[in-house]
Amino acid sequence: MPEDELGNGYEFLIKKFADDSGHTAQEFYTNRTVVHLMVQMLEPQPGEKIYDPTCGTGGMLISALDEVKRKGGEYRTLKLYGQERNHMTASIARMNLALHGVDDFAIARGDTLENPVFTEHDRLATFDVVLANPPYSIKQWNREAWQSDRWGRNFLGTPPQGRADYAFFQHILKSLTPNPSPGGRGGGRCAILFPYGVLFRKEEADMRQKLVDADLVDCVLGLGPNLFYNSPMEACIVICRMDKPAARRGKVLFINAVDEVTRERSMSYLKPEHQQRIADTYHAFADVDGFAKVATLDEIRANEGNLSIPLYVRGWGVSEAKGEYATDGLTEAVRAWAESSNQLDKSISGLLKILG
């Protein structure tokens, strides 16, 4: 990637600071190879407005600019926006963008859920592209205020107090432009890094069902472990579009990329060939045996809105490490567990109706 060496050095110092301070580096720095994949999937275009509501040190915004530059686009016409709660981190983001030669940007400080800074005419500002890695399942947030949110960000519902993931999710969806910009790619689109739980947790089932019914989800991508500094956590990427191409309407692409990863010392990363395979699969939007599956909304509704990837991507997959075909036992076990859980819920609901 053609990225500025000074900026690279600065990001190394950010990572080093996180390691030495005992912080989870996810607070400051998202694995660059994951971010590269996200921007390749969203394909930012010259002239577009790009936003990160929890921007940390600005790495996602910089990666979007680099992607436009890499493809020969006029990157100077991009408009980059970010909001960050931590004052020090917001300052780092401003400096990071400046060191990467970015001119047209605005980094605001503040809590995005409590006080979104970017607004227009008493409404949330909207953007062509949103890239985000929100803090996972935070418990300290104002749920009571969300129930009557003045910005209308509770259109799917109010998340549980212990998990604000769907609060960030709804903020991001409300921040997407509904229509394509001149030269844009089909209206607002977003790529969000989330914990796997957002795909199947029962306390968010009603919100997830409304999300599915609105036909906003374009792709659900499962990533492997150890892609974050100081953390073995696994995550998924959820891509949504406000205006899907006609061929994608009423459908969601599921990709199981848990094996598309390379381990090196204490952490993992996505090689260029991993990124290429995943991005190509996303853009093709077609089934790949054991790797990707296009599911209809009716199929997802049959699973009660559950977006767990193993429910849809089944069968044999290629194990690159062993160079042979092998059944992914863990994936199959999770799929079977999810199916049995759905059946149990249906049985209990039926029993309660009979008893009632």
Which CB contacts under 8 angstroms, 24+ apart, belong to 88-96?
89/27, 89/28, 89/56, 89/57, 90/55, 92/14, 92/28, 92/57, 92/58, 93/55, 93/56, 93/57, 93/58, 93/61, 94/58, 95/10, 96/7, 96/10, 96/11, 96/14, 96/57, 96/58, 96/59, 96/62
Q: How confident is the model at residue 328 (pLDDT cuts 50, 70, 90)?
A: very low
Query: Average of pLDDT values for 43-64?
Result: 94
Is pLDDT of 27 > 50? no
Place 155 in a pLDDT band, splitting at 50, 70 and 90.
very high
Domains of the chain: 5-355 (3.40.50.150)
Tokens 């029962």 locate to: 202
Average pLDDT over residues 72-84: 94
Rg value, the chain, Cα: 20
Q: What is the mean pLDDT of residues 97-104?
A: 85
Secondary-structure percent of the chain, ordered helix, strand, coil, rounded to 5? 40, 20, 40
CA distance linking residue 100 with residue 169, whole number of Å: 29
Name the average pLDDT for the chain: 84
User: Which residues have CB under 8 Å from 158's CB, separation 6+?
Assistant: 143, 146, 147
Q: How far is CA 175 from CA 67, 127, 133, 136, 168, in A?
A: 22, 6, 15, 19, 10
pLDDT band at 269 (very low <50, low <70, confident <90, very high): confident
CB-CB contact of 46 with 129 (8 Å): no
pLDDT of residue 313: 96
pLDDT grade, residue 323 (50/70/90)? very low
186 three-class SS: coil
Which tokens belong to 330?
């863990």
Q: Where are the alpha helices (DSSP H) in the chain?
A: 5-21, 32-42, 59-70, 87-99, 143-146, 165-174, 205-213, 272-284, 297-302, 329-355
Phi-psi region of 323 (alpha: psi -120 to 50; beta: other; left: phi over 0): left
Average pLDDT over residues 260-274: 85
**Among 93-107, 128-142, 182-196, whose mean pLDDT is lowest?**
182-196
- Residue 245 pLDDT grade (very low, low, confident, very high; cuts 50, 70, 90): very high
pLDDT band at 232 (very low <50, low <70, confident <90, very high): confident
**Spatial CA neighbour of 180 closest among 229, 101, 260, 244:** 244
- Measured in whole angstroms, how far is the alpha carbon of residue 272 from the centre of its chain? 19
Tell me what the mean pLDDT of segment 212-221 comes to.
Answer: 97
Q: Where are the alpha helices (DSSP H) in 175-204?
A: none
Closest by CA to 282, choosing from 308, 300, 257, is: 257
Local structure of residue 176 (DSSP, 8 states): B
Is residue 55 very low, low, confident or very high in pLDDT (cuts 50, 70, 90)?
very high
- pTM, to two decimals: 0.83
